[in-house]
Amino acid sequence: MGLKAYMNDIVEAVVTTAKGMRITARYGVDPREEVTLQYPEERWEIPEGYRGFLHNDIKTCTACTMCVKTCPVDCISLESVRGADKRMVLASYDINIGRCMYCGLCVEVCPPKSLKHTSGYEMASVTRGELILHFIAEDAAEIKARVARQVAEAAAKAEAQAAAKAAEVPSSGTAEVAKAAEAAKAGAQAGPKAAEVPPSGTAEAAGAQASAKTAEVPLSGTKAPDVSSESAKAPVVEPKAAKEGENKE
């Protein structure tokens, strides 16, 4: 190594050090360069069309099972029974959010647009079972039993009415049609009642649980803004169901 190269080395060392120090000084002095987001205190603004946790508005859900069929990872499961008014009544609607890959196919196919992505992305749980969102708090078997009872009642009523009509003398067809409509109305009234479900006690408990959870972690993002209070309570996990879910896993 000649003297020239030797001196060049020294000059290069000094120059590159100075260059580097100029850059670090610029970053060190400029406060705008801080890119850290102080996460729990500050948050990203959630972009439009963000696919967060799924939420099903069970009031408008028709239990068509399109979402179940289209889900590539089988994270949605629902049970339904035919109600007295021939409509499907949801007995249970569960989404395993731990398995969901947020592809959005279920939201796209949903005919009544009841299934939606919320902006929620924060959820922590100790067990995997807690990741299963139950949108209907009441036990599926109870709902089924009740709907079956209503169906039976309606059938009995209709039978009785038919019998009465038969006894009443075969009158004009219009009266019969009106009666049938009445029966259907009764059934329709029973339908929403079944959907609304939880007996007041458990509903309150669930509400308390929900509020406790929201107080613990400000999960404001998980709820869609237009969701009514009842449906907000729905996804709260009941311990028993959670355990079952865990066992399933």
Q: Give the nearer residue to other proteins in terms of CB position, either 5 or 126.
A: 5
Residue 89: half-sphere exposure toward Cβ, Cα within 13 Å: 30
Size of the site for other proteins (CB under 8 A): 16
Angstrom CA distances, 15 to 1, 10, 11, 29, 225, stand at: 20, 9, 6, 21, 58
Query: Could you say which of 11, 12, 15, 17 contacts other proteins (CB under 8 A)?
Result: 17
Query: Could you say which of 11, 15, 21, 141 contacts other proteins (CB under 8 A)?
Result: 21
Phi and psi at 93, nearest 5°, equal: -140, 105
Give the shortest CB-219-to-other proteins separation in angstroms: 23
For residue 15, state whether it binds other proteins (rule: CB under 8 A): no
Q: Give the nearer residue to other proteins in terms of CB position, either 32 or 240.
A: 32
* Span from 20-28, 87-95, 211-219, 228-236 in contact with other proteins (CB under 8 A): 20-28
Site string for other proteins, 22-41 (x = CB under 8 A): -xxx-xxx---xxxx-x---
Residue ranges in 34-73 that form contacts with other proteins under rule CB under 8 A = 34-36, 38
Give the shortest CB-21-to-other proteins separation in angstroms: 5
DSSP 3-state of 134: strand
Q: Are strands 54-56 and 115-117 parallel, antiparallel or unpaired?
A: antiparallel
Give the shortest CB-14-to-other proteins separation in angstroms: 8
Continuous H helices in 2-63: 3-29
Q: Give the nearer residue to other proteins in terms of CB position, either 21 or 101.
A: 21
Q: Give the nearer residue to other proteins in terms of CB position, either 40 or 170.
A: 40
Continuous H helices in the chain: 3-29, 66-70, 105-109, 140-167, 173-196, 200-216, 229-233, 239-248
Neighbouring C-beta atoms of residue 107, cutoff 10 Å: 19
Q: Exposed/middle/buried for 54, CB within 10 Å: 0-12, 13-18, 19+?
A: buried
Can you give the binding site for other proteins, defined by CB under 8 A?
9-10, 17, 20-21, 23-25, 27-29, 33-36, 38
